Structure 1
Amino acid sequence: MSSRLYSHCFYLDMADSLHHDNEVSHCTSPAPPTHALGPLQGVYVPATDGTKIALDILFPEAPSGTTFPTVLMMTRYWRNKIGEDLYPWQTYFAERGFVAIHGDVRGTGASFGQWPYHRSRLETLDFTPIMDWIVAQSWSDGRIAGTVTSYSANTADWMAERKHPALKVIVPRYADYDPYTDVYFPGGLPNAFMGRTWGMRVKNLDLNLKRNAQGQLLPGVRLVDESEGGQMLRDALEEHRPVPSVWEGLQEVTYRDDRPSSWHGTSMTDFGIAAHMERVNEAEMPCQTWASWMDTCTANGAIRRFLTLRDRVQVVIGPWGHGGRSTLDPLCPENDKIMPYLTQQAMVYMFIQQGLDGEMRDMGKRIDYFTRGEQRWKTTRTWPLPETKYEEWHFGPDSRLVRDLTADGVDTYAVDFGVGSGKTTRWHTGQDGGPVFYHDRAEVDKRLLRYTSPPLSQDVEITGHPVVTMSLTSTETDGAFIAYLELVAPDGKVIYLTEGHLRGIHRRVSNEPSPEAAIGPQHSFLRKDAMPLVPGELVEVTFALNPLSILVPAAYCIRLALAGADVDIFARIPAVGGPVWGVHRGPSARSRVTLPVIPRQRKGLLQQSRSG
């Protein structure tokens, strides 16, 4: 399939997903099954140091001697489970003519070894002997693709880092491009919810313990060889047992370069693919990466990847929960019509097929993104969008957000440590893949420092990274600064759009050259760059929010709400004390939010004067 045909199918299928129901979109999928399922084979493949790595290999049904390309998917959530259907992506690819391999990474599931933290160097080095083993098999045609979702997306990234000649294409979906800023420490704030909940969950998995929603213990991970009665699994679990939970290590982290005692000298920079993109660039491998405006920080990571990779990258950003099975467009009720899941699978299949066939050499770079509120897919080859106009909205008196500066003033805010954003947020979907839903935030906002614009006089598209800049004092030496960008509907309902974060000690803005500077102020989060607040001293705090693309309807107001805590997600910063902020505004301070506005035909955004 040519790149031109791929592009045509991409937009055709997205058009179907917008204008037809799910059943029609499923029936018009461009990638119907071509094979019946063949046998499933469990094997242990030895790593370089002899550690046994568990793989489940699902074959397409075919005459003896037929060779196939391989899709390699490595997970830390059990490759398959006793008594349950096979992993859906595994059957999907086998039915379309691939040998589909789903494996347990080192120290997890039925694999031997130890898993002390994400993507240890031993774990990522294992991908080389695994790929060596694959191409040596009689059923292999010598071509491999790496994919799929979440942790497996991260392993696909590291397969590319290995620069193996048989690996031709990767499709990481909803990956943690930079685990420090994307998941565990956005803006340097400790994501205690994710660290604690996920850390204990995966530790139990590594001991073969998993319960269903009713609390019943499930049978466990699938045995590699059922004939040996489970002794090899028991032996593997004994190797897993002494390893501390990753949560223990995360509690020792403040800075990006901290090295917890249980991580054997490793920092979060070491196991984030963001710091190793030069090797991925050297691989010159086609990459299609999927992300969501509403899934942790995956959209921000995908855009950073786009800016860093030199060539051959397609980014797809939609309004989904983690994994793409649920959708959220708060301005449009028919969320289920935004690219159904089977359409997403077909897009992945087509990209992999082209990558294996060597048809993506001239694909260049592009981002395909969904604009909420408008229900439209769009494409760009540059980020930020070249037509972007940056509009400054200043903090004004009486909780107003205004275009023109007003007289100097100070707004005082005592941080409320009891405020939270709920249990179905962008952070929760990263844990369980569930739908993202934010309730009306009108009551929550009464406990925050907020600034609200006048009603807009026409529809306004905001696409890109908003940036908050504040001149403020604090009574403490550290603190959490959380900014929520919201809409206020004509009926008073407050709608969440996106958020951004910065911990006070990380406020130093980096002046190191970086392609990522295009998306907003950069912070190193390194210990050497720590800059504690001085109580009572006026300082500037500036940071980018997570990106978004939305068409804001006329008559809605834009709101920026500021918090110093989110009890549902982040650890308390500082651990003791009660910060009181003095947020300065006006010509001397210029506290503001800068919005990336995409011009439309009519001029002028407000129903009243620019100053409100």
Structure 2
Amino acid sequence: MKAFGIIAFCCFVFLLPAKALNNQNTPGVYESPNEQLYKRSTFQSFYLPMPDSVLLAVDLYLPKNLKEGEKIPLILHYTRYTRSIQLKWPFRWIINPFVQPGLKDEIDFFIRNGYAFMNVDTRGSGASFGYRKMEFSKEEVKDGYYVIDWIAQQHWSNGKVGTMGVSYPGTTAELLLTNNHPALKAAFCRNSIFDLYEDIVFPGGLRHSPFVEVWGDFTRKLDFNDFSPFGRRANRFVKSINPVDDDRRAVLLNMALEEHKDNTDIFSELLNMQYRDDNPSFDTSIVIDAYSVMNYLPQIERSGAAIYRLSGYFDGALANSAVKGYLSLSNPGKMILGPWRHGSQKNKSPHRSSLEMEFDVKQEMLRFFDYHLKGIENGIMDEPQIYYYTMREEKWKWAESWPPENTFYTSWQFTADSTNRHIHMDSNEPSILDKATYEIDYTAASGLGSRWNSLTELYMYEPTGYPDRQIESNKLLYFDSNPLEENKIVTGHVLLDLHVSVDEEDANLIIYLEEVEPDGTIHYVTEGQLRLSLRKTRDENYFAYTKPGFYRTYYKADKRLLVPYKPVRIEMDLIPVSYQFAKGNKIRISIAGADADHFDDIEPRAGNLFLHLCNQFPSKVLLPVEK
């Protein structure tokens, strides 16, 4: 049994068995006509040469009982997290090679349903040669063209390829579309990154250093064949990155690892960056956008490939990535937003009856790829293209657009008197106080099991979720509605139009949407953040992509320092969500100036933040409510 302990150390993304829904017309429920035709697979591992002589390590799986002359499509997983691992003796007699459990389950699943599968180490990672000057580099993406070209020429290939993955491989799944290879027909992108700056590294302009440090340390060690990030016991089980079949003595593997020494230290680079247009030290002619999906929309559009996006309400800010990607392209597309953390493994709604993820991702991927790679008319592109989950109501819903067509914005005004702070819906009731004063508490935090910690297993110090926030709420400036007279479902992007001042030239602003029970229990719903000096907005026509809410460049030239104590208008949107506020409960908006667990403070620190409430400088929140 000890051999299976390696799972705890080598699992980057778990995808636990899912409980299927009862409704046969529901996404995630599908019976493929090819299921169980193929019981076992053949495996081979080898190097593919690129035009610049860099060798990429690939693992290829084929159905073992494939008939002569039969042609099948292939699913491509393009990763920088090591395609497979060689265990020490005697464990490799049980599992050889070792593949992260969730991915291995998917490989076997696709083989059973008549697909080939290829797992590739991107250049400068795993057993592949080359070096990485940046994640998602143009060289890395271009390599994908030649990998797919090789696949399409094989005697068993039907000439059609689909890409898939979670997080980093989910992002490469979409980036490979930029090559416009005619064989690449569809991409299933789970928890992928549309905008590296705004959606993961600098949400709202706030540097997410703890995540970048953990992720950077993990990937750098992995590139050097060091598995210590998985714990001290990992080395008892792991021998090394898996060499290819013809490299039994790992001579080529060690040569590849030597080239990895030239990989860029991502954490050091990002510590020297603050603005979207800052240049990395290795190339002063480019900016971070050069490595983001958002920078390649015309090329992705030209591919004509179908794209399926999946994200969750506890998936960092990557629900924004899913929405922006879906809205910005005319490719055949679908989107699912669920009550999930990064990796979409379990139902994390605070009101769930079970942790089981009531959605079978494997079956939904198969439904998608069967249609686009095998031509099976299963109706997936005839149904509404958006499927989302409403928490507390605990219900899946269809939509034809995002935000859903049945939502409308309701305006809630902030007011305060000497004892209470309120938000009032559609009210012109004047505020007794012209501003609310908040002494910023720099110990305020959202917890080590927050949406941000879910972005990688090694950053997840506690199970994903938000316990009762009563203690934390006392550190914040909060405004409550009256008890609701009926249930209200908020779906989409909450917008805020505030007037704020501080006693310094800059500060962070973090806004939480919460629900308050009659007994005082506080449920986290969603949040948004903004570095106040980067508040400047621009017209949507300035940008190549589409999003709900407000557009910002985060450019250095658009930085506007505050004049201490002078009110400025702040427009911001929160990360999308769908949540039912229950009758009798209160809606709460909480304001913070710090999240000690996740974002760097601005120096010098502001002492006080003022939310202005008078007629001249009003503040309001707009909630997207379902009819």
Give the TM-score normalised by structure 2.
0.88
In the other structure, the counterpart of 2:571 is 542
Tell me, in whole angstroms, the C-alpha distance in 2 between the residues paired with 1:277 and 1:164: 15
- Alignment match, 2:450: 425
Q: Which secondary structure does the structure 2 equivalent of 1:248 belong to?
A: helix
Q: Write the distance in 2 (CA, Å) between the matches of 1:329 and 1:561.
A: 20
Match of 1:124, as an amino acid? Answer: V
From the superposition, tell whether residues 297 and 478 of structure 1 become closer, same or farther in structure 2 (CA, over 3 Å).
same
- Supply the AA of the counterpart residue of 1:401: I
1:216 to 225, 229, 234: 234
1:50 aligns with 2:50: no
Residue 402 of structure 1 pairs with residue 424 of structure 2 = yes
Residue in structure 2 matching 1:76, options 80, 87, 112: 80
Letter in 1 for 2:485: S
Shift of 1:562: 0.7
Amino acid paired to 2:166: T
Partner of 1:371: 390
1:554 lines up with 2:583 in the alignment: yes
**2:321 alignment partner, SS class:** helix
Per-residue CA distance 1:114-154 (angstroms, 9 max, x = gap): 12322011111111111111112222221111112111111
Change (3 A) 1:185 1:307: same
Task: Tell me the residue number matched to 1:607.
Answer: none
- Distance in 1, Cα, partners of 2:555 & 2:594: 22
* d(CA) in 2 for partners of 1:589, 1:548: 28
2-side partners of 1:273 and 1:375: how far apart?
Answer: 32
Q: In the comparison of the two structures, how many residue pairs are matched? A: 579
Q: Is the 8 A contact 2:132 2:264 kept in 1?
A: no
- Where does residue 329 of structure 1 map in the other structure? 349
Aligned ranges 1:100-139 → 2 under 5 Å? 100-139=117-156
In the aligned structure 2, how far is the partner of 1:135 from the partner of 1:17? 34
- Give, in angstroms, the shift of residue 520 of structure 1: 1.0
Q: Do the aligned partners of 2:440 and 2:608 also contact (CA within 8 Å) in 1?
A: yes
Aligned to 2:400: 381
With over 3 angstroms needed to count, the CA separation of the structure-2 counterparts of 1:287 and 1:27, relative to structure 1, is: closer
| Kept in 1: contact 2:384–2:398 (CA 8 A) | no
Partner of residue 59, structure 1 = 62
CA distance in 1, matches of 2:353, 2:327: 33
Match of 2:289 in 1: 269
Amino acid at match of 1:67: K
1:410 corresponds to which letter in structure 2?
K
Which amino acid in 2 is paired with 1:50? S
Corresponding residue of 1:609 = none
Structure 1 stretch 386-395 or stretch 247-256: which is displaced more?
Answer: 386-395
SS of the residue aligned with 2:221? helix
Corresponding position of 1:180: 197
Counterpart of 1:379 in structure 2: which amino acid?
A: W
The aligned amino acid for 2:38 is H
Which residue of the other structure, out of 165, 171, 186, is the alignment partner of 2:182?
Answer: 165
Query: Aligned with 1:71: secondary structure?
Result: strand
Instruction: Please say which of residues 172-181 and 521-530 is displaced more in the overlay.
Output: 521-530
Tell me the SS of whatever aligns to 1:269: helix
CA pair 400-14 structure 1, distance change in 2 beyond 3 A: same
Letter in 1 for 2:54: T
Q: Does 1:144 align with 2:161?
A: yes
Query: How big is the shift at 1:13?
Result: 4.9
Q: Is the 8 A contact 1:70 1:145 kept in 2?
A: yes
Give the residue type in structure 2 aligned to 1:76: R
Query: Per-residue CA shift, 1:373-396, capped at 9, x if unaligned?
Result: 112111111222223221112221
Go from structure 1 to structure 2 and tell me whether the alpha carbon gap of 1:170 and 1:337 turns closer, same or farther (over 3 Å shift): closer
1:283-340 Cα deviation digits (max 9, x unpaired): 111111111111012211111112111141000111111111122111233242532x
Are the counterparts in 1 of residues 526 and 575 from structure 2 also a CA contact under 8 Å?
A: yes
Task: Report SS of the residue matched to 1:499.
Answer: strand
Contact 2:247 2:253 in 1 (8 A): no
Alpha-carbon contact 1:156-1:171 (below 8 Å) kept: yes
C-alpha RMSD of matched pairs (Å): 2.4
Aligned to 2:148, the other structure's residue is in SS state helix
* Conserved? CA contact 1:149–1:174, under 8 Å: yes
Please give the per-residue CA displacement for 1:223-259, whole angstroms capped at 9, x wherever unaligned: 1135440011100011001323211111122111211
Number of the residue aligned with 1:253: 273
Structure 2: stretches of 5+ with no match in the other structure: 1-18, 88-94
Show CA shifts across 1:150-174 (max 9, x none): 1111111011111100111111111
Residue identity over aligned pairs, in percent, reads 28
Aligned-partner residue type, residue 504 of structure 2: E
In 2, Cα distance between equivalents of 1:365 and 1:533: 45
1:498 and 2:533 aligned: no
Give the distance between the partners of 1:164 and 1:117, measured in 2 at CA. 23
SS of the equivalent of 2:309 reads strand
- State the AA in 2 paired with 1:402: H
Range that drifts further, 350-359 or 445-454? 350-359
| Counterpart contact for 2:341–2:451, Cα < 8 Å | yes
The alpha carbon displacement at 1:501 in A equals: 0.8
Which residue pairs with 2:14 in the alignment? none
- Does the residue aligned with 2:257 lie in a helix, a strand or coil? helix
Mapped partners of 1:583, 1:444: distance in 2 = 20
Q: Does residue 1:567 correspond to 2:582, yes or no?
A: no
Decide whether the 8 Å contact of 2:62 with 2:116 is kept in 1: yes
Q: Secondary structure at the match of 1:424?
A: coil
Amino acid at match of 2:269: G
TM score, norm. by length of structure 1: 0.90
For residues 215 and 400 of structure 1, the distance between their equivalents in structure 2, rounded to whole angstroms, comes to 53
Match of 2:16 in 1: none
Classify 1:543/1:26 alpha carbon distance in 2 versus 1 (closer, same or farther; 3 Å).
Answer: closer
From the superposition, tell whether residues 518 and 267 of structure 1 become closer, same or farther in structure 2 (CA, over 3 Å): closer
Mapping 1:142-541, distance limit 5 Å = 142-211=159-228, 212-217=230-235, 218-225=238-245, 227-262=247-282, 265-336=285-356, 338-339=358-359, 343-358=360-375, 366-397=385-416, 398-403=420-425, 404=427, 405-407=429-431, 409-432=434-457, 435-513=463-541, 519-541=548-570
Give the secondary structure class of the aligned counterpart of 2:519: coil
